[in-house]
Amino acid sequence: MEPGLLLIFAVFAIGVMAGVPVAFCLGIAAVAGFLWEGLNPAVAFQQMASGMSIFALLAIPFFIFAGEIMLHGGIARRLIALASACVGWMRGGLGMVDVSTSMLFGGISGSAVADTSATGVILIPAMKAKGYGVDYAVSLTVTSSIAGILIPPSHNMILYSLAAGGGISVSALFIAGIVPGVLMCLFLGIAAYVVAVRRGYPAEAWKGFGHLAWTFVDAMPGLLTAFIILGGVLTGIFTVTESAAFGAIWALLVTILAYRALSWENFVIAVRASVRTTAVVFLLVGTATAFAWLLAMYRLPEILTDGMLAISDNPIVILLLINVCLLVLGCVMDMAALILITTPIFLPVVTAIGMDPVQFGMVMMMNLGLGLTTPPVGAVLFVGCAIGQIRIEHIMRTIMPFWGAILVALAFTTYWPDISLTLPRLLLGYGG
C-alpha cells in the first residue's frame, strides 16, 4: 500500500480516537496527504470549497429545517394519534403505534434523530404508564426511527448521490427507499408483537371508525408535506431542491396557521438546530471531498475492487463482506461521514459484480442506519436512552430481536434487487 495512503488513514484514525470531530479529522488527514505528496495545501481547500458549492446540496438545509419545524410544531402528536387509531387495538398496541408513527413521521422529517426525539418524548412515557418495560419502549423507538433514513425524503440520500459523483438520480433514490423502509417496519412490527405477547402487554381499546376518520383528517395537513415533496418530484413540477424548499414552506404554514402549535421560542430553537446541523453536514461534505480526491489519486477503489474479487467472485460473498464492513464501521463513526467516505470505495466493487447503484444506496442506508442504534457512537440510541432515563447496558439485553428484524430486512434488500428497483422503474422509468 502507498505510504501516503497509510499516512492519511493513520492521521484520520488517530484524530478519531483522540475525540476530534470527524469533519476536522478528514480535513487534517487530507492536508497531511497533500503535504506528503508535495502538493500546494491550497489545492486541498479548493477541493473543500468545490465540494460545498454544488447546487443540489441546497436541498439539505431545506429538508433539515422542515424536519425541525415539524418536530416542534405539533405534527408528531397528530401522527401518533392516527397510528394509535389504526393499530393500537392490537396486542402490545403501543408498540405497533411506535413503529407506525416512525414510518409516518420518517416519511416527512427524513431524520432518525428527529423521529426518535419527536415520538419518543410522547410514546416512551405513555408505554411506561401502561405497564410496558422501558427497555422495550426505548429499543423499539430507536430501531424504528431508521425508517426516517429510508422513507423519503432523506438528506442522507442526497449525500450518497454526491459521494457517488452526482450521477445517481436523487429522485430514483427517494422512490427506491419506500419499499425497503416499509418492509423493515413490517419486520419490526412482527418482532414488537412477538415480544409484547411474550411479556403480556395489553391492547388498546378500539375507538371506532369515526375516531379513525377524525384522526386522519386532523393529521392530513402534516401528511401532505410528504405528498408535496414526492408528488412535485414525480410529476416533474419541482426539482428535488425546489420540492425541499416548498416542503419547508408548507411545514411552516401547517404548524403556524393550521395547527397553531409553533411558538416563537420553538421557531428559534428549530432555526438554531437547523443551522447547526447544516453547518456540520456542509463541513463534512467539504473535508470528505478533499479526502476522497486523495483516495482516488491513490487508486484505492480499484485496489479494493481487485482485492475483493481476488477473495471471491461470488456476489453473495462479496456483498456479505461489504455488509459486515458497513455494520462494523457504523458502530464507530457518524453516518454522514461514512456515506461520504465509503461510497467512493465500495460503489465500484458492487457495480463490478452487477449491483445497481440505487439498490446499493438502500443497502448502505439500512446498514449505517442500524449503526445509529449501536454503541459506542449511536446518536439515536443515546437520545432514546436519555428520554427513557435508562442505561445503555440495560437496552443491550433486549434490543436484539429488533436488530434481528432489521438484519432480515437488510438481507432481503441486499439480495433481492426488485425490492429497491421496482418502484423507480414503474414511476420514473429508471433503467439503471
Q: Which amino acid is at 245?
A: A
Residues 412-424: tens digit of each pLDDT: 999 999 999 999 9
- Please state the domain count of the chain: 1
- Chain centroid to CA 29: 26
- Single pTM value for the model: 0.80
Q: Over the stretch 358-381, which tens digit does the pLDDT of each residue have?
A: 999 999 999 988 888 887 667 788
Pick the closest to residue 361 from 107, 149, 63 (CA basis).
149
Who's near 132: CB < 8 A, 6+ residues apart? 92, 94, 95, 201
- Residues 187, 406 contacting (CB under 8 angstroms): yes
C-alpha–C-alpha distance, residues 263 and 275, integer Å: 18
Burial of 387 (0-12, 13-18, 19+ CB in 10 A): buried
For 352-369, b/e burial (b = at least 16 CB within 10 A) is bbebbbbbbbbbbbbbbb
Per-residue 3-state assignment (H helix, E strand, C coil) for 228-242: HHHHHHHHCCCCHHH
The position carrying cell 443491550 is 396
What residues are paired with 203 via a beta bridge? 91
State the pLDDT at residue 403.
93
357: closest CA among 186, 66, 160? 160
Torsion of CA 128, 132, 137, 139, to 10 degrees: 140
Task: Note the residue count of the chain.
Answer: 432
393 Cα distance to chain centroid = 24
Span of 186-190, 350-354, 428-432 with lowest mean pLDDT: 428-432
Q: Please give the average per-residue pLDDT across 219-241, as a whole number.
A: 76
Report yes or no: 373 and 147 within 8 Å, Cβ to Cβ: no
Residue 77 sits in which domain range?
A: 3-428
> 129 Cβ partners below 8 Å, 6+ apart?
none
* Model confidence at 325: pLDDT above 90: no
Give the largest Cα separation in the chain, rounded. Answer: 73
Residue 288 CA, distance from chain mean position: 18
Helices (H), 254-334: 264-297, 300-311, 315-332
Per-residue CA distances from 261 to 83, 107, 247, 252 (Å) = 20, 20, 18, 10
**pLDDT average, residue stretch 144-155:** 82
